[in-house]
Amino acid sequence: MKVRLLDPDRDLDLADRPPEGSADLVQDLGLDLVFAAMGGGDRFVRDVSRHVVLAGLGDPAVIRWRQDALDDCARVPGMARDLWAVALDAVERQRKVWGWSSTFADSVVHRAVDTLELLIVSMRQLRAVAAASAGQVRSEAFRRLFAQIEAELDDAFLAEVEGHLRRLGDRDEVVVTASPGEGARSSGFVLGRRTRAPSWRERLGLREPETHTYEVAPRDEAGAQALAELRNRGLALAADAIARSSDHVVSLFTQLRSELAFYLGCLNLAAALGPTGAPLARPEALEPGTGVLEADGLVDVALRLASRGEVVGNDLALRGARLLVVTGANRGGKSTYLRSLGQAQVMLQAGMPVAARRFRADVRPGVLTHFRREEDAELEHGKLDEELGRMSRLVDRVRPGSLVLLNESFASTNEREGSEIGRGVIDGLLDAGAMVVLVTHLYDLASGYAAARRPDARFVRAERLADGSRTFRIADGEPLPTSHGQDLFERVFADGSGAGAGT
């Protein structure tokens, strides 16, 4: 039986390493807050959610498979949490089975029997939840899983399993037969079960038994060891089969627990965002190369989770663009806009809802980020060296179609040098087939691209009203030769009367 709730063709493997650059992606996009909300206080759910989100998907069909399954989890009350509770209980049950780590078949059999006897209860619970929910689900993922459960865990099968476990658990019920082989060695071992118990006449010696019996003396250690070895050889095949069966059932519940953890994480995130009023929408994943990036009311999830105030949403409509340049007033919402865009793309490719009223984009081979870092006392080199080192590692990971988000890159040097470095890097990224979204206050860099009139370039600007206030909205607009630093100066150095400290 295969779980396959996250992908129709493969199981989730938590041993897979996260993609290179994941640490930068998490830091730059504020994803730790998102993962914490997904965890809802459960470390396992948080860690699985992080693993699944960072791994991402490159096939729109698999994204829709996952989205459909998540829709079922949200629509059918309690289904996902009931399945999770059954899987979690089963995993915990099998961990409590006591037994020596032994290669002796007798020990292997009894440990496997004990494990399966406990998990029979979990299998019945799993079937009950599946039966209660099967008629309500619409996704192929859950329909296929529930069909397997109905077909493979019916009453007749479970009753037969329980009968085998009772017999294997009773040492008197298990009989090993063998024949003398070459050199008087035992061969032809067969595992059977006792067909009848000795009669009272046979026990009292009043009737000749149908079989001859030899009992090893209690102190005959060599004889006991010899019989144990014979029994071990006779049980070997059965021990292997039942151990495999036990491992398969344990693996089923372990896999079910892991894959459901992601869906629980999505439900937890929706519950955390609910009181904030943030929109949540099922995004539309388009085929790679479509060149579409559209959003209505897109917000920064991390900011929405951390802030109690209003968070402004922004719209975006790009078709065929490969360079988006974001400029405008300081503290006007440019970085927030960039983070929200990166979060949405990552969440779309994980099969998650997106914090927007509407979002559609083509699937990309990777989302790569290069955000300006604050001063770090642990940096071993200069700030520009550190930026160039991170950019070099990013360039190594770029593939045609990658989405590259640059936030104030190379702002640690002067305008001329920063613009020259930035232009060389961005041109190289575009030549490699990437889409670049650039937030910058380097006017020379931004205006140079505006003057070039590239057909695949778009320009937006953070709004600033005439009185200097910020709306935190991003609208179409080419770069201006100022980022209105005077506004910031006056706010920081204003005196008690509100007048500016200078001009």
Residues 258-289 have pLDDT tens digits of 999 999 999 999 999 999 889 999 999 999 99
Q: Which residues contact 74 (CB under 8 A, 6 or more apart)?
A: 267, 270
Q: Please say whether the beta carbons of 154 and 130 come within 8 A.
A: no
**Is 253 found in the same domain as 222?**
no
Tell me what the pLDDT averaged over the chain comes to: 83
Cα–Cα distance for residue pair 389/383, rounded to 1 Å: 10
User: Do 326 and 461 have their domain in common?
Assistant: yes
Stronger pLDDT, 232 or 457, i.e. the higher one: 457
Both tokens assigned to 168: 């294997």
My answer on whether 390 and 487 are in the same domain is: yes
Q: Is the pLDDT of residue 110 over 50?
A: yes
Please check whether residues 342 and 462 belong to one and the same domain. Answer: yes
Q: Domain check: are 415 and 291 in the same one?
A: yes
Residue 217 DSSP code: P
CA pseudo-torsion sign 344, 350, 352, 358: positive
Instruction: Calculate helix-pair angle for 43-55, 31-39, nearest 10 degrees.
Output: 130
Domains: count for the chain: 3
Q: Is the dihedral of CA 416, 421, 424, 425 positive or negative?
A: negative
Does residue 235 lie within any of the structural domains?
Answer: no
Tell me the pTM: 0.81
Over the stretch 38-56, which tens digit does the pLDDT of each residue have?
A: 999 999 999 999 999 999 9
Report, in angstroms and rounded to the nearest whole number, the Rg of the chain calculated over CA atoms: 33
Contacts (Cβ under 8 Å, ≥6 apart) of 16: 51, 55
Please give the Cα distance from 500 to 502 (Å, whole number).
5
Same domain, 350 and 365: yes
**Residue 359 burial by Cβ neighbours in a 10 Å radius (0-12, 13-18, 19+):** buried
Residue 313 has pLDDT above 60, yes or no: yes
pLDDT at 498 exceeding the cut of 70: no
Give the pLDDT mean for 386-403: 94
Residue 497 lies in a domain: no
> Is 336 within the bounds of a domain?
yes
Q: Is residue 500 a part of any domain in this protein?
A: no
419: nearest Cα among 488, 325, 318: 325
Assess if residue 452 is contained within a domain: yes
pLDDT value, residue 235: 55
Please give the pLDDT value at position 204: 61
Do 62 and 201 sit in the same domain of this protein? no
What's the CATH code of the domain at 314?
3.40.50.300
Q: How confident is the model at residue 452 (pLDDT cuts 50, 70, 90)?
A: very high
Residue 384 lies in a domain: yes
Tell me how far apart the alpha carbons of residues 464 and 483 are, in angstroms, rounded to a whole number.
Answer: 10
Q: What is the pLDDT of residue 153?
A: 75
Q: Are residues 401 and 456 in the same domain?
A: yes
Instruction: Name, in order, each residue with C-beta under 8 angstroms of 91's C-beta and a sequence gap of 6 or more.
Output: 250, 253, 254, 257
Residues 147 and 220 in one domain: no
Rounded Cα gap, residues 158 and 490, in angstroms? 77
Q: What is the mean pLDDT of residues 175-203?
A: 59
Residue 55 belongs to some domain of the structure: yes
Collapsing DSSP to helix, strand or coil, 455 comes out as coil
Share of the chain above pLDDT 90, in %: 56
Range of the domain at 184: 173-230
Q: What is the mean pLDDT of residues 443-463?
A: 94
Tell whether the model's pLDDT for residue 154 goes beyond 80.
no
Q: Could you say which DSSP state residue 91 is in?
A: H
pLDDT category of residue 501 using cuts at 50, 70 and 90: very low
Dump pLDDT digits (tens) for 472-489. 899 999 998 865 555 555
Bridge partners (DSSP) of residue 186 are 180
Give the pLDDT confidence of 200-231 residue by residue, as tens digits: 565 665 566 556 666 767 777 776 666 666 66
Of 372 and 284, the one with more pLDDT: 284
Alpha-carbon distance of 491 to 385, in angstroms, equals: 33
Instruction: For residue 245, give both structure tokens.
Output: 């069966």
Instruction: Specify the range with the lowest mean pLDDT, choosing from 74-78, 117-121, 126-130, 403-407.
Output: 117-121
- pLDDT score, position 233: 60
The answer to whether residue 226 sits within a structural domain is yes
* Amino acid, res. 431: D
Q: Can you give the pLDDT at residue 500?
A: 40
Angstrom distance (rounded) from CA 14 to CA 122:
23
Check whether residue 373 and residue 451 sit in a common domain. Answer: yes
Contacts with 209 (C-beta within 8 Å, 6 or more apart), sequence order: 198, 202
CB atoms within 10 A of CB 483: 22
Give the residue from 176, 154, 58 showing the smallest Cα distance to 109: 176
Position 184 pLDDT exceeds 60? no
Report pLDDT for 249.
75
Q: Is the pLDDT of residue 495 over 60?
A: no
Q: What is the pLDDT of residue 502?
A: 40
Mean of pLDDT values over 101-113: 56
- Residue pair 444/416 in contact (Cβ under 8 Å)? The answer is yes
Residue (of 441, 239, 165) closest to 326 by Cα position: 441
Tokens found for residue 91: 């995993």
∠ Cα 19 399 266 (to 5°): 45
Whether residues 270 and 357 share a domain: the answer is no
